[in-house]
């Protein structure tokens, strides 16, 4: 595996050191910052670190808050409700003409 370098100062970083702390030992930069999001995702995919909270506002900040406060549920429910069925009134008209117990005229 290629050596990992600090995205800020370019000095090499050890996997063991990153697993303990996300602060560069050379320039003391806190690498758990939105500015280094790609670097953090690389560390996660490479399984070098496994305790990064991607809901942490210090890392994702504006993106997390933007999606958290977007009003997904402010929809008009009536726009999704189907219209009530239009029943065929023909059967009711025939009932009135023939009556409910008119029986079958074609029977012998």
| Residue ranges of E strands in 1-108 | 4-5, 12-13
pTM value is: 0.50
pLDDT tens sequence across 5-59: 999 999 999 999 988 888 999 999 998 888 888 898 899 888 888 777 666 666 6
Residue 7, Cβ density class (10 Å: 0-12 exposed, 13-18 middle, ≥19 buried) = middle
**Under 8 Å between Cβ of 24 and 14:** no
Place 91 in a pLDDT band, splitting at 50, 70 and 90.
low
**Under 8 Å between Cβ of 30 and 22:** yes
């Amino acid at each position: 595996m290629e050596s990992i370098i600090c995205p800020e100062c370019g000095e090499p970083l050890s996997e063991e050191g990153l697993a303990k702390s996300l602060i560069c030992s050379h320039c003391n930069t806190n690498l758990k910052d939105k500015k280094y999001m790609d670097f953090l995702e690389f560390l996660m995919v490479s399984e070098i670190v496994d305790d990064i909270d991607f809901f942490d506002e210090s890392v994702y900040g504006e993106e997390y808050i933007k999606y958290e406060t977007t009003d997904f549920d402010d929809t008009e429910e009536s726009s999704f409700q189907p219209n009530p069925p239009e029943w065929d009134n023909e059967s009711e008209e025939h009932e009135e003409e023939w009556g409910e117990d008119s029986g079958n005229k074609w029977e012998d």
